[in-house]
Structure 1
Amino acid sequence: MTALDDAEDYYRQVFARTRPPFAFVDLDALTANAHDLLRRAHGKPVRIASKSLRSRTIIDHALGLDPGFQGIMAFTLDEALWLHGLGAQDVLVAYPTTDTELLGTLAERTVEDPEGAPVVMIDSPDHVELIERAARRHDVRVKTCLDFDASFWLAGGRIRIGAKRTPIHTPEQAAAAARRVERSAYARLVGVMSYEAQIAGTGDAVPKRPVTNRAIRLMQDRSHRELRHRRALAVEAISRVTPLDFVNAGGTGDLELVASEPAVTEVTAGSGLFAPALFDRYSRFAPRAAAFFALPVVRRPGPKTVTVLGGGYVASGVPRWDRAPVPTFPPGLRYDGNEGPGEVQTPLTGAPAAHLAVGSPVFFRHAKAGELCERFNELHLVRDGRIVDVVPTYRGEGRCFL
């Protein structure tokens, strides 16, 4: 299938004998999205963001699609150690940790596997000191990556657009952080990472908002031009202190922009494989919806209202309607404004509700990617019009990292 508008009958036939609730991934759509990500990466390696997938089978499938996919960006050290223990190599932890027990385990892994052990994120001397405390008894230098701030500053920094992640904003601050690591006998700096949330995580094609969209595009253009220059200076400053193995940047939303930067050696993507509903609001690319979930109709409280079981799978971020799952099949269903998606039930209204029987499935798309797998133990995998496998999510393997 190539168009979401034509997919309802296709998926209803595929899942005619599958009892909802269930979640599924269309491998044909995922593969098309993967090739488009590689095209947008302009030949630079694409690191897989595991937080967007949260299924080892899907991660392995993506890594095996093409040599252009290299490495994993984990979201916690616990997850990274688990993946590494199961054979994963080249794992970068995207967020710092304060768990000294896990850092001790990382130090042990580094002794056993000096090059293949996970790389942990830092952005302050506090992080380095925690690593030193944990690694000292193993007499090993743990590999680290410096998180460099990609937010857009206006008015001398009084206005900051982007995610509040790291205090390392200037090339001078980056070089000072690198020198701190270089002085350590128990940590070494091997990479730099930055994420431009105001570009990669902000759609510029919001329906019925032409003025807002133009303003977002202007901000994103100015932000990237400023960041491109500042990031290059930071990488140059750090490289005078210590050689770097990699410079990582980006997300699905700005892949082609950061891939064009000479200072960037690799890019990151994950959500673009699933193509959740928020990506419908981007003008630079048009991925195919690849991940869905289905809930059963369990009540009919009115002639044009049905109630499905569960559904309160609201995505993280600023609480707004665009963070709610999107009722997709049948098209035309909408939430009740007084209830919205609920913890154990979700009323849906609209003309299609009149034709839905109790027991019928309603298909949804999650607003974001990874949080879907926190709600289901399994993913049904679809290819060529049939279910080809049923595989566990992290949750299905008894793992909940965040």
Structure 2
Amino acid sequence: MCLEFPSMPELSRRTLLIGGTALAGVATLMSKPSDKSGPRDPYFLQMQKALTDAGIATPTLVIDRARLNANIDTLKHHLPQGMGYRIVAKSLPSLRLIDHIRKRTGTDRLMTFNLPMLLALSTEMPEASQLLGKPLPVQAARQYFHKLPPERSDAAGRVQWLIDTPKRLEQYQDLAKDVGRTLNINLELDVGLHRGGFEPGSELGAVLHEIELDPNLEFAGFMGYEPHIPSLPTSLGWRDKALAGAWRSYRAALDQAAEVFGKEAIEQITRNAAGSPTYRYYEDTSIANEVSAGSCLMKPTHFDTELLEPHTPASFIATPVIKSFARTRMPGLEFADNTKRAWDPNYSKTIFIYGGHWLPDPVDPPGLEYNSTFGRSSNQEMLNGGPELQIAPDEFVFLRPHQSEAVFLQFGDIAVYEDGEIVDSWPVFEASA
């Protein structure tokens, strides 16, 4: 009898197929989600007790004042000798919060971003210097002068109006004549972000000369913002080159201004730069003499960067659990629930929270995730967790905001947490762009 054996090519193909299938199976198992659930953090359990003791039972923005103070002190520690600090009001949108930071830092410099904020700060903190963080449409600036209380008229003299184009400068020249006041003009520089503003060159030179010749305008300084730099790769020195390029542009603009107003005058003007992501780049005052920052004092998730590692998260959204279920059931897809749970243990349990669809990440209890199939909800948001998830209705879920400027305005008064208690309540600004 003649026995037949597979040829070598057939054997190799079969071996490869079996091996490939095995490798695919291993890869699939390696990608299987691990259980992220576990015991709750005592820090958040203590904050939960404080909220309950204070009678709070709705979604609330909580600031940990001890952590805030530590972040303020960290910021001050990193500022070089002679460097001024300007509080970014949009990232800290509460008069009481800003006042607390002013007192602890000793600064009277604010960066303002819209008409309601400008009016509120001029009314409540008339002695402060305000620099517009973005150009204000001239009609909004006109309303500022109409709405500013007469007894706060002096506050207008401490506002620096940000100008980004020759056309806007013309509009503010007309405004200065109409209101019969000298306006302080700060020129926005494009130092690499390419979001508008002037670059060194003939256009900047013409605008500087126009300001010099107009008796109703006062040159107040420059603002150069470079938040793009930390996002650039370090490979091939791209980040370092971008930072050097930003400083080179800023220096060239200062040199142009010195030709018009004199070198001594340029030493005294506002030379504003940076933001939370970049303030630590400035180790002396050779370019900037003040830096702006706000978000680093709260440290929302978008500011979890290498440069801001010394800062600690100081703000959280706390929202009650409305419903809690021992197993997850998807409407219309119940047949797949067991398979889904077997694959992903973090799908095991379900809670529904009061409100939702904000811009945060859940942080406590651990392992909570949004359900992408169920979708987001601003009414009763669904969150899933693993088998170790233990939370009952009326207890709180804690989330970290992605940012502070818009998120903080969605919850009413801020609950101030310190030493295991809610110790104060800080109203927020009127919501506005």
Task: Please classify the TM superposition score into its range, dividing by the shorter chain length.
Answer: 0.7 to 0.9
Partner of 2:93: 54
Report the alpha carbon displacement of residue 63 of structure 1 after superposing the two structures with TM.
0.4
Q: 1:150 aligns with which of 188, 191, 209?
A: 191
Contact 1:274 1:289 in 2 (8 A): yes
Q: Supply the distance in 2 between the matched residues of 1:273 and 1:97 (Cα, whole angstroms).
A: 26
Q: Deviations over 1:44-74 (max 9, x none)?
A: 111000000100000000000032x341000
> Is structure 2 residue 412 aligned with structure 1 residue 377?
yes
Report the alpha carbon displacement of residue 12 of structure 1 after superposing the two structures with TM.
2.4
Q: Supply the distance in 2 between the matched residues of 1:49 and 1:252 (Cα, whole angstroms).
A: 9
Q: 1:264 aligns with which of 284, 288, 300?
A: 288
Which shifted more, 301-310 or 111-120?
A: 111-120
Q: Within 5 Å, which residues of 2 pair with 1:352-367?
A: 354-367=389-402
Q: Supply the distance in 1 between the matched residues of 2:210 and 2:103 (Cα, whole angstroms).
A: 38
Contact 1:247 1:264 in 2 (8 A): yes
Q: Supply the distance in 2 between the matched residues of 1:228 and 1:140 (Cα, whole angstroms).
A: 33
Q: Supply the distance in 2 between the matched residues of 1:21 and 1:176 (Cα, whole angstroms).
A: 52
Q: Deviations over 1:350-379 (max 9, x none)?
A: 226742212221001101122222201111
Q: Within 5 Å, which residues of 2 pair with 1:317-336?
A: 325-336=360-371
Q: 2:103 aligns with which of 40, 59, 64?
A: 64
Q: Supply the distance in 2 between the matched residues of 1:146 and 1:34 (Cα, whole angstroms).
A: 28
Q: Supply the distance in 2 between the matched residues of 1:224 and 1:261 (Cα, whole angstroms).
A: 15
Q: Supply the distance in 1 between the matched residues of 2:285 and 2:387 (Cα, whole angstroms).
A: 48
Q: 1:84 aligns with which of 122, 125, 133?
A: 122
Q: 1:30 aligns with which of 46, 56, 68?
A: 68
Q: Deviations over 1:68-121 (max 9, x none)?
A: x34100012442132112233201111112242533644997994288431110
C-alpha change, 1:101 and 1:286, in structure 2 (3 Å) is: closer
Q: Supply the distance in 1 between the matched residues of 2:255 and 2:380 (Cα, whole angstroms).
A: 54
Contact 1:250 1:267 in 2 (8 A): yes
SS of equivalent to 1:240? helix
User: Normalising to structure 2: TM-score of the pair?
Assistant: 0.77
Report the alpha carbon displacement of residue 261 of structure 1 after superposing the two structures with TM.
4.8
Q: Supply the distance in 1 between the matched residues of 2:237 and 2:379 (Cα, whole angstroms).
A: 42
Q: Supply the distance in 2 between the matched residues of 1:123 and 1:192 (Cα, whole angstroms).
A: 10
SS of equivalent to 1:196? coil
Larger RCO, structure (CA 8 Å, separation 6 or more): 2
Which of structures 1 and 2 has the bigger CA Rg?
A: 2
Partner of 2:276: 252
Q: Supply the distance in 1 between the matched residues of 2:249 and 2:283 (Cα, whole angstroms).
A: 15
Aligned-pair Cα RMSD in Å: 2.6
Partner of 1:207: none
Q: 2:49 aligns with which of 10, 13, 16?
A: 13
Q: Supply the distance in 1 between the matched residues of 2:86 and 2:168 (Cα, whole angstroms).
A: 24
Partner of 1:282: 306
Which shifted more, 385-394 or 11-20?
A: 11-20
Which shifted more, 80-89 or 119-128?
A: 80-89
Letter in 1 for 2:208: A
Report the alpha carbon displacement of residue 183 of structure 1 after superposing the two structures with TM.
2.8
Which shifted more, 289-298 or 82-91?
A: 82-91
Partner of 2:142: 103
Letter in 1 for 2:224: S
> Is structure 2 residue 258 aligned with structure 1 residue 222?
no
SS of equivalent to 1:342? coil
Q: Supply the distance in 2 between the matched residues of 1:104 and 1:186 (Cα, whole angstroms).
A: 19
Contact 1:63 1:70 in 2 (8 A): yes
> Is structure 2 residue 251 aligned with structure 1 residue 232?
yes
- Between the aligned residues of both structures, percent identity stands at 24
Partner of 2:331: none
C-alpha change, 1:56 and 1:340, in structure 2 (3 Å) is: farther
> Is structure 2 residue 170 aligned with structure 1 residue 135?
no
Letter in 2 for 1:375: Q
Partner of 2:431: 400
C-alpha change, 1:334 and 1:105, in structure 2 (3 Å) is: closer
Q: Supply the distance in 1 between the matched residues of 2:375 and 2:416 (Cα, whole angstroms).
A: 29
Q: Supply the distance in 2 between the matched residues of 1:119 and 1:266 (Cα, whole angstroms).
A: 14
Report the alpha carbon displacement of residue 310 of structure 1 after superposing the two structures with TM.
1.8
SS of equivalent to 2:319? strand
Q: Supply the distance in 2 between the matched residues of 1:72 and 1:263 (Cα, whole angstroms).
A: 20
- The number of equivalent residue pairs is 362
Partner of 2:377: 342
C-alpha change, 1:220 and 1:311, in structure 2 (3 Å) is: farther
Q: Supply the distance in 2 between the matched residues of 1:28 and 1:352 (Cα, whole angstroms).
A: 34
SS of equivalent to 1:16? helix
Q: Supply the distance in 1 between the matched residues of 2:156 and 2:285 (Cα, whole angstroms).
A: 27
SS of equivalent to 1:180? helix
Partner of 1:123: 164
SS of equivalent to 2:398? strand
Contact 1:194 1:249 in 2 (8 A): yes
Which shifted more, 241-250 or 44-53?
A: 241-250
> Is structure 2 residue 296 aligned with structure 1 residue 296?
no
C-alpha change, 1:113 and 1:392, in structure 2 (3 Å) is: same
Which shifted more, 270-279 or 292-301?
A: 292-301
Letter in 2 for 1:387: I
Report the alpha carbon displacement of residue 249 of structure 1 after superposing the two structures with TM.
0.3
Q: Supply the distance in 2 between the matched residues of 1:358 and 1:115 (Cα, whole angstroms).
A: 51
C-alpha change, 1:328 and 1:262, in structure 2 (3 Å) is: same
Contact 2:413 2:425 in 1 (8 A): yes
